[in-house]
Chain A
Amino acid sequence: MNRDYRERGSHAVEREEYESRRSSSYYCYEDDFANDDTKTFLLNDPSQRQEACNGYSCNETNSDSHDIQQAHRRKYSSQAREGSNNSMYRSIYHRQQQHEYYQDDEAQFSYFSNKNSAITIASYVLLLSIVAFGYLIKEMIQEYDNVSSIDQAVNQYDTDVTVWSPEGRLLQVEYAMESVKQGSACVGLRSSSYAVLGALKRSVSELSSHQKKILEIDNHMAIGIAGLTADARTLAKWMRNECLNHKYVYGTPISASRLVTDLADRHQRTTQTYVRRPYGVGLLVASVDKTGPHLHQTCPSGNVYEYYASAIGARSQSGRTYLEKIYQELDNMNRDDLIMHALRALSGCISGDGELTKENASIAIVGKDEDYTLLEGDELKPYLDRLELEAGDKDEEVEDVEEEEDDSSDDAMDV
């Protein structure tokens, strides 16, 4: 550019750039053409383009070509004036006419006559400051609205599942995993011949029934859910269908590892599509196949791991801690002891002064020689009674210790 455009306002700069673009590349910019028919004609025919440019390429800069442009214009305007029927030349003439028009009136668009310069500079500065101030206000309001436990900067990256955060996290998927932690607790454990699921059923109010958390998938498979129940039902329906199809096609029950791999793929698909959201539910899949019992855990991100024992849902950490202590003894345990361990892990996950009752506990078992069995209500009573007895024994021990302490203090007082 011959002139130093930094001295001028942005408006003038834009116009200058537009001019230069137009003058140096007549045939490459679609927005230059007022007549649509000539536009398509020109753009689709490079030979015509070449001919018209007369050897000048379309990306020619106009840094030194002011004279050349003049010659260019003169040549084609003369041709046009000759009355050529070629519409291309007509349009060039049209363009060139406009260009000349602008050139003549260029003086009109100069913003820097001396008497106005001070006022215009001041007005631009004021405008800029107002815009900046408004942007600041907007940011502050945004920050105030977004209350999140994660660093406030990440709120920009969490509106869509298809957006990465700068730390390389998919925040929507992580939020979906939070949803799993909102569901009530569900535990699972396995021995060498049984896989057991335990669930703490929540009820909305005293009047309502307790929400079922264990679903049968097939004779040899069951799932315990934590999170959005409706999402879990969709997944269960799909899993049931897959099991039936597999049995129909191959004549044997599907092995859980294959099914949960497909399930993981389903989860992943929802994390990479614009129009869907991740499933907000975590599953504990208990199953038996010819290699024995298995326990798998799935989560909304699509990760699947196999476990000896696990717990998911609200306050499940205490369940996991308990299971970590006992999981090594599980291998040869008998059926009843497995159920007791599940109930003990579950009882740690209850909030406050609630307790496990036959209404809110449920146990499911699949075994090598046992099809899916669900224990609820009265069938659970013997196990819950045993649990209560154990708790009672522990309480008695604590009381004895306390009494001893009291006696010693009395003795001290007497003395």
Chain B
Amino acid sequence: MTSYYSQVQQLHAKNGESQIPVHSSEGNTTIPVAFDSSNPTDDHSHIDHGVTQAPYERRFSPYDFNGGTTLAIAGEDYAIVAADTRLSSGYEILSRNVTKLHPLTKCCVLGSAGCKTDIDQLRSVLDIKMKVYHHNHKKEMHTPSVAQMLGNTLYMKRFFPYYSFNVLAGVDKEGKGAVYSYDAIGSFERTPVTASGSGQSFLIPLLDNVIKHQNRCDEYKPLDAKEVVEIVKDAFVTAGERDIYTGDMLEIMVIRKSGITKVEFPLKAD
């Protein structure tokens, strides 16, 4: 003989419901539970943020590429470094007049393209290191030492790098031009010619041919600073035609043992 209670339970179970009995001092009761989709236990599952149906990976990127191109050429007794002055983000121009060149000593200039805030921070850190060196040694750092120090500073942030693609141009102790090219994490090399930034792919092949005289059949003629400045202007105009992030104004610095001279040249604003 079955009890009334158990009969009721069997009936409910047939209908897809089941009761959990609760015995308390106030009296006995039951909690109905149904294990089908018509009675969801968690109301939140109704609301779909689009994640379950169409999942995608959200990601915050700490870096932004602010565009621009820099270039550096080493000569016999001079070094030339040039950069445009456009600051952009995505398809927008943020400013047409922001410099990418930063003199570190009287004989040494750093040009950087990449994420502007990282570049600014890198410059502040380098300035402090230069000053501390000056206080301790009572003289300015030589360009090869600056190059090494910059490489070390970049590597110190190997696992959260400065998003800064640098070129370093200066004259060494003898007065000869010295140019160093870097990647974002501090690998560097002394090269005769280098470029970095959004327009580097347009500039480097051109400079290989014209300045380094590679893949040419005519005779090599050493170039002096004035000629090279004209070549640099042409190169940037060319790069500006093809690269949307390059334009507005070109700054060229000629570094000699005696000091730094600056030339400005307007570029297209489109």
- The interface stretch among B3-11, B18-26, B127-135 is B127-135
Q: Are B128 and A240 in contact (CB under 8 A)?
A: no
The CA of A95 and the CA of B164, in the complex, are separated in Å by: 85
Query: Is B41 at the interface (CB under 8 A from chain A)?
Result: no
- In chain A, positions 240-259 with a C-beta closer than 8 Å to chain B are 240, 244, 247-248
Query: Is A158 at the interface (CB under 8 A from chain B)?
Result: no
- In chain B, positions 117-162 with a C-beta closer than 8 Å to chain A are 124, 127-128, 131-132, 135
- B116–chain A nearest beta-carbon distance, Å: 16
The CA of A218 and the CA of B132, in the complex, are separated in Å by: 10
B132: A residues at CB distance < 8 A? 240, 244
- B254–chain A nearest beta-carbon distance, Å: 23
Residues of B in contact (CB 8 Å), total: 6
A218: B residues at CB distance < 8 A? 131
A216: B residues at CB distance < 8 A? 135
Q: Are B124 and A248 in contact (CB under 8 A)?
A: yes
B128: A residues at CB distance < 8 A? 244, 247-248
The CA of A216 and the CA of B139, in the complex, are separated in Å by: 12
- A236–chain B nearest beta-carbon distance, Å: 8
Closest to B131 in A: A244
B124: A residues at CB distance < 8 A? 248
- B135–chain A nearest beta-carbon distance, Å: 5
State the main secondary structure of chain B at its contact with A.
Answer: helix
Closest to B129 in A: A244
- B130–chain A nearest beta-carbon distance, Å: 10
B131: A residues at CB distance < 8 A? 218, 240, 244
- In chain B, positions 19-65 with a C-beta closer than 8 Å to chain A are none
- A239–chain B nearest beta-carbon distance, Å: 10
A248: B residues at CB distance < 8 A? 124, 128
The CA of A315 and the CA of B110, in the complex, are separated in Å by: 50
A244: B residues at CB distance < 8 A? 128, 131-132
The CA of A247 and the CA of B124, in the complex, are separated in Å by: 9
- A308–chain B nearest beta-carbon distance, Å: 29
- B242–chain A nearest beta-carbon distance, Å: 37
- A376–chain B nearest beta-carbon distance, Å: 12
Closest to A374 in B: B138
- B125–chain A nearest beta-carbon distance, Å: 8
Closest to B132 in A: A244
- B159–chain A nearest beta-carbon distance, Å: 23
The CA of A311 and the CA of B259, in the complex, are separated in Å by: 38
- B122–chain A nearest beta-carbon distance, Å: 13
The CA of A240 and the CA of B135, in the complex, are separated in Å by: 8
The CA of A216 and the CA of B131, in the complex, are separated in Å by: 11
- B34–chain A nearest beta-carbon distance, Å: 64
A240: B residues at CB distance < 8 A? 131-132, 135
- B105–chain A nearest beta-carbon distance, Å: 14
The CA of A248 and the CA of B127, in the complex, are separated in Å by: 9
Most buried by A among B127, B128, B131, B135: B135
The CA of A338 and the CA of B132, in the complex, are separated in Å by: 30
- B251–chain A nearest beta-carbon distance, Å: 22
B135: A residues at CB distance < 8 A? 216, 240
Closest to A249 in B: B124
Closest to A251 in B: B124
- A366–chain B nearest beta-carbon distance, Å: 16
B127: A residues at CB distance < 8 A? 247
The CA of A248 and the CA of B124, in the complex, are separated in Å by: 7
Closest to A216 in B: B135
Closest to B135 in A: A240
The CA of A95 and the CA of B127, in the complex, are separated in Å by: 79
When A and B form their complex, which 10 residue pairs have the shortest distance between CB atoms, in order from nearest?
A244-B128, A240-B135, A248-B124, A244-B131, A248-B128, A216-B135, A244-B132, A240-B132, A218-B131, A240-B131
Footprint of A on B, CB under 8 Å? Answer: 124, 127-128, 131-132, 135
12 contacting pairs across A/B (C-beta < 8 A): A216-B135, A218-B131, A240-B131, A240-B132, A240-B135, A244-B128, A244-B131, A244-B132, A247-B127, A247-B128, A248-B124, A248-B128
Apart from A216-B135, A244-B128, 10 more pairs, CB < 8 Å:
A218-B131, A240-B131, A240-B132, A240-B135, A244-B131, A244-B132, A247-B127, A247-B128, A248-B124, A248-B128
